[in-house]
Amino acid sequence: MKVLNTSTDPSMKLIAFGRGRLVVACGVEYQQREFSGMWLVVRRGATVRTWGTSNGVAELCVLGPLPSTTLDAIPVEQGIPLGSVHDILAIRDDAATKFLSEIDAAELKLLKGK
């Protein structure tokens, strides 16, 4: 795979894509690939398995993960074709701090196998 061009956005985002998938990303890299077009690359983040919201996904952008939100660590770099992305939502700074703490916990859980 030949990467022709890249740009990076370091801010935390919620990315809705595919068939109902939601990923919280600690920054994304936009890549123009030679044969497959534009991609978002997530180097660190988590899949949001359970939203746990009563007011939709935007609630996570404002409040961060809730007590009933479930995150699964993404253990390796994940590439998402830009054409499959439905929405990219910004996360407020205070919510991002909460997400970082929960991502750390999800990674630790994955590494310990519990």
Return the structure tokens found at 60: 């996570």
Tell me, what's the pLDDT at 36?
84
Q: For the segment 9-30, what is each residue's pLDDT rounded down to a tens digit?
A: 778 999 999 988 999 999 888 8
Count Cα neighbours of 40 within 13 Å in the Cβ-side half-sphere. 24
CATH number at residue 69: 2.30.30.100
Q: For the segment 30-40, what is each residue's pLDDT rounded down to a tens digit?
A: 888 888 888 99
Q: For the segment 43-58, what is each residue's pLDDT rounded down to a tens digit?
A: 899 999 999 999 999 9
**Tally of domains in the chain:** 1
Range of the domain at 14: 3-112
H or E element, residue 23: strand 21-33
Taking phi over 0 as left and psi of -120 to 50 as alpha, with beta for the rest, 98 belongs to alpha
Contact 25/61 with Cβ under 8 angstroms? no
